[in-house]
Chain A
Amino acid sequence: MTGSTNPDLDLTMSRVIKAPRQAVWNAWTDRASFEQWWVPAPAKCRVLEMDLRPGGAFTTQISENGGEFKPHLSGCFLAIDDLERIVFTNALVGGWRPAEHPFMTAIITLRDHPAGTEYVAHVMHKSRADRDTHEEMGFHDGWGTVAEQLATLVEQSSVGAGTT
Chain B
Amino acid sequence: MQQHSEHLNGIFHALADPTRRAVLGRLGRGPASVSELAEPFDMALPSFMKHIRFLEGNGLIRTHKDGRVRTCAIERKPFAVAEAWLSTQRALWEGRTDRLEQFVITAHAKDKSK
Seen from chain A, the residues whose Cβ lies within 8 Å of a Cβ on chain B are 8-9, 11, 13, 15, 17-20, 23-24, 26-28, 33, 36-38, 40, 64-65, 104, 119, 121, 123, 125, 131-132, 134-135, 139-151, 154, 158
Contact = CB atoms under 8 A, between A and B. Distances in A.
A144 B93 contact: no
Nearest to B100: A37
Contacts of B97: 13, 15, 119, 121
Chain B interface residue count: which class? 35 or more
Interface in B82-114: 84-97, 99-105, 107-108, 111
A119 B21 contact: no
A81 B52 CA distance: 51
What 8 pairs between A and B have smallest CB-CB spacing?
A: A37-B99, A142-B88, A19-B108, A144-B28, A37-B103, A151-B15, A140-B29, A23-B108
Tell me the interface secondary structure of chain A in the complex.
Answer: helix
B103 A27 contact: yes
Contacts of A17: 100-101, 104-105
Contact of B104 (A23, A131, A141, A158): A23
B24 interface: yes
A25 to B, nearest CB: 9
B30 to A, nearest CB: 8
Contact of B105 (A11, A18, A132, A134): A18
Contact of B88 (A20, A33, A38, A143): A143
> Chain A CB within 10 Å — which of B76, B88, B96 has the most?
B88
Given A131-B85, A142-B92, A33 B16 contact: no
Nearest to A37: B99
